[in-house]
Structure 1
Amino acid sequence: MSLVDDPADVLAEIQKTPAARTPLVPPRPPLAPQTMSTLRRLTTMRTNGIATWSERAYQEDMLQGSFFGRSSFTLNSPAWIRHVLIDNYENYRRTPAGIRVLQPMLGEGLLLAEGKTWKHQRRTLAPAFTPRAVNTLVPHMLDVTNETIQELAGQQGQPIDLREAMQRMTLEIAGRTMFSFGMTEHGTALRNFVIEYSANLARPRLFDLLLPLGWPTFQDIQRRFFRRRWTSFVRKLIVERRATAKPDAAPRDLFDLMVGASDPETGQAFSDDNLIDQVATMILAGHETTATALFWSLYLLAQDPASQDEVAREARAARTAGGEPEIEQLKFTRAVLDETMRLYPPAYLIARSASGPDVIDGKAVKKGDAIFIAPWLLHRHQKLWDNPDAFIPQRFLSGTAPDRFAYLPFGVGPRVCIGAHFALVESTLALAKIVGQFRIELLSTQPVMPVGVVTTQPDYSPMFSTTQR
């Protein structure tokens, strides 16, 4: 088959091939023992939350235990997950520990807001993330991806840190789609903020879990000092962007859309302080999770040459007259991303605290009890998936969509990620263009282990090589 065949023919051939190949099974952390002390679980959680689960967690519908004097429920049943995230979602809010960890970076933005404040923010932001609005931002995505490809072309024959390359690329896309200017001047500072916080303040400690939210811990004091510096930095970006504003011009980026937005029910727009939190949320949540998904996709494709070649064939067959891929034709590329996010979900854990009493599967839930929904577990659960630890993109081409409460890369329900479509468009186009241009090979021989700390990160950055196709 040539590299310019009809995309339908490419897809038909792809769907014929999975049975003929032994699927890739990437490494994962060792299973935890069946019983762990609270101290050991806490210590392990701080370094890698994924390593706290035993074999039972991948087999049973519910795990019930205790968590610092409160009952805890880990849910693996789609029916009960629907109950918590949709049917009775207002009864389940972020845990105090989760707020402590995320609030210094995200403030009162959409990800952490609750109740009427969240509803106002969601209604106000929704028009900026419709497919039509995202389409206007695609040229920014393609420009940055093409620049990254040029940089990679200049590094052929050399070891390349593709994780860093994807972080820089998605950060630049975040900057241009948000502000219409590049992050050359500010990118290093922004990355330093993210690295500093992730390394020092994003991991919950004992008192973060034990003390009420209103009682500051030593880490909270450090987080407050960090937040002052962080919000000052974001405010500087906003001031710089406003200096280039063009009165009465059509919106050219997310910032224009957010500034011009108002709640359709109340007519209320964002205050300057809340705008800072929204910008911080969109830049951080967008670029870090997308970079991680792209890194894991390239890591898997480097170990599965047949799938990598299929992405390359599809990318070239889907090119339009302008030379850019048509996203509707990138079905296998999208399946690779879907399967990657199944194996390495961007958010490995969703934690909620019950605001009031409830009943789940006949078991009483009391106010303050902890509810855990772990996409990492759901996506690898032995009752929900065939060959759950294997990389099989074709499972997303079968024509039968997975249960929407068993596959949660962006959450589900009213609080589903508002930027999901944006992220999928960006990552699908970027993956197709990069793999369509280069053959990716993994140079490092040490296994890459996933680490669950806020997002599903690699334990180190392996080296790759790229060769022009």
Structure 2
Amino acid sequence: MNIASVRRPIVPPTPPRAPDDMSFLGKLAVIRRNMIATWGQRAYEEEIIPGRFIFRNSFILNRPDAIRHILLSNYENYTRTPAGIRMLRPVLGDGLLIAEGHSWTFQRRTLAPAFTPRATANLVPHMTAVLDETIAKLDARTGEAVDLRETMQRMTLEIAGRTMFSFGMDRHGPTLRNFIMEYAERLGRAYFLDMVLPVSWPSPMDFARARFRTRWTEFVAMLIAERRAAGKKDGAPPRDLFDLMDEARDPETGKGFSDAQLVDEVATMILAGHETTATALFWALYLLALDPDTQEEVASETRGEHLDSIADIDRQKFTRAVIDETMRLYPPAFLVARAARDKDNAAGIEIGKGDIIMIAPWLLHRHEKLWDQPNAFIPKRFMSKEPPDRFAYLPFGAGPRVCIGAPFAQAESVLALARLIGAFRIELADSNPVIPLGVVTTQPDHSPMFRITRR
């Protein structure tokens, strides 16, 4: 894809690329700190990188046709890896994100009506109310150094709480954030035994994860109980995601979710919805602070707009392109790993039973054969008449297992960025480069301080 640009685009900082001959032990030492730093130059240039991963054959795939086969044409042949299940099950249980087979089909069919564009449109007032409050709080801090990463985390958590339950997260937000930090900092990182032992054999960290899960599910069940106590008028339309999920029924069987299943679905939607959106917004603000000219283009597009409906959000074409380009450079899910149930041929690649397939959006989105100036921040590439190949750009995955909440996340991200940049001029107050870390999501290595001024 060729991109013409008058100005020289910015190239944000990244970790040094690993030596292509890095040993397995060397990778193991780095992998828990930053998975992104284990990939060398070869991974950004070649379409297929065969190797070995924990005693199994592995393939890193950067070929869109092969990725299409894995994620769409024969997706049922590929399951999450044991390490992936260990990392996710304690916080998501058997929710939609990690369910397989008939359980996944039931959950997907049942949840689908809650995430239609119409359902998302009905939740926009919750988003705008939180944004109004966030802008008012930031307005009182103009000229000061502000931690916008923390602000985005609090804001998206509040949006998650209101869109899910119709109540604010003032009382429960600190507890929820503590759960997330506790898990991400220690329990959500892969240890050697997590990767080599079968899922049925508990690793040492699994005992700590089990204790965490007990406390976590009790907390989510308490939120659900509080929401149910608030009630709903008979015959009234659904007012939040919880109403939609609680009333959801599989169109084929008529079954709904049990209380235990509802806990896992609510946990999945809150965590997947708030943390990934907060991180994407942080990176977008960081990029716009590095690139004041692009920031002014966003502000110009939002000028005079009310931005309180889906129609308003859809008109923000350039702001949407900024979000798309942000998620190209900093994909929330930097790696998708799958294990083959049986042997297969993916666009000419012979795959054996048990082989590990790694599709890394971090690599794919920066691949030198797929993108012009792959490391540069060029939002207008997403306004080109030549859109990227569907399987070369995977911020929300692809195929039947594409993120069900993608329309909601996109609407929230575009709305939030447009409103924030429309209200404030944002500059970095911290000169240290921010380096992305691949841990659970693509996170910054530190939270830089920003300075904001009213437009």
TM above 0.5: yes
Q: How many residues align?
A: 452
C-alpha distance in structure 2 between counterparts of 1:241 and 1:68, whole Å = 45
Deviation at residue 18 of structure 1 after TM alignment: 6.4
Equivalent position to 1:417, from 400, 403, 408? 403
Q: Is 1:189 matched with 2:152?
A: no
What's the counterpart of residue 277 of structure 2? 290
Deviation at residue 43 of structure 1 after TM alignment: 1.7
What's the counterpart of residue 438 of structure 2? 452
Deviation at residue 157 of structure 1 after TM alignment: 1.5
What's the counterpart of residue 259 of structure 2? 272
Q: Which amino acid aligns with 1:86?
A: L
Judge conservation of contact 1:315–1:325 (CA < 8 Å) in 2. Answer: no
C-alpha distance in structure 2 between counterparts of 1:290 and 1:315, whole Å = 20
In structure 2, the CA distance between the partners of 1:263 and 1:323, relative to structure 1 (3 Å rule), is closer
Report Cα offsets for 1:308-360 as digits up to 9, x if no partner.
0010011114336x799811210000000000000000100000011111123
RMSD, matched Cα: 1.4
Judge conservation of contact 1:18–1:394 (CA < 8 Å) in 2. Answer: no
C-alpha distance in structure 2 between counterparts of 1:335 and 1:365, whole Å = 36
Deviation at residue 363 of structure 1 after TM alignment: 3.9
The answer to which of 33-42 and 81-90 deviates more is 33-42
What's the counterpart of residue 310 of structure 1? 297
Q: Which amino acid aligns with 2:67?
A: I
C-alpha distance in structure 1 between counterparts of 2:51 and 2:301, whole Å = 47
Q: Is 1:39 matched with 2:25?
A: yes
Q: Is 1:388 matched with 2:374?
A: yes
* Structure 1 segment 3-402 matched on structure 2, within 5 A: 19-248=5-234, 249-319=236-306, 326-402=312-388
Segments of structure 1 that go 5 or more residues without pairing to the other structure are: 1-16
Deviation at residue 291 of structure 1 after TM alignment: 0.3
Q: Which amino acid aligns with 1:251?
A: P
Q: Percent identity, please.
A: 63
Judge conservation of contact 2:121–2:310 (CA < 8 Å) in 1. Answer: no
C-alpha distance in structure 2 between counterparts of 1:319 and 1:329, whole Å = 11
Report Cα offsets for 1:141-178 as digits up to 9, x if no partner.
00001111011111112110000000000000000000
C-alpha distance in structure 2 between counterparts of 1:399 and 1:237, whole Å = 46
Judge conservation of contact 1:32–1:54 (CA < 8 Å) in 2. Answer: yes
SS class of match (1:465) = strand
Q: Which amino acid aligns with 2:16?
A: P
C-alpha distance in structure 2 between counterparts of 1:153 and 1:325, whole Å = 27
Judge conservation of contact 1:325–1:433 (CA < 8 Å) in 2. Answer: no
Judge conservation of contact 2:325–2:377 (CA < 8 Å) in 1. Answer: yes
Judge conservation of contact 1:325–1:429 (CA < 8 Å) in 2. Answer: no
The answer to which of 36-45 and 68-77 deviates more is 36-45
Segments of structure 2 that go 5 or more residues without pairing to the other structure are: none
TM-score of the pair, normalised by structure 1:
0.95
C-alpha distance in structure 1 between counterparts of 2:135 and 2:348, whole Å = 55
Deviation at residue 307 of structure 1 after TM alignment: 0.5
C-alpha distance in structure 2 between counterparts of 1:97 and 1:460, whole Å = 26
Q: Which amino acid aligns with 2:410?
A: L
Q: Which amino acid aligns with 1:77?
A: R
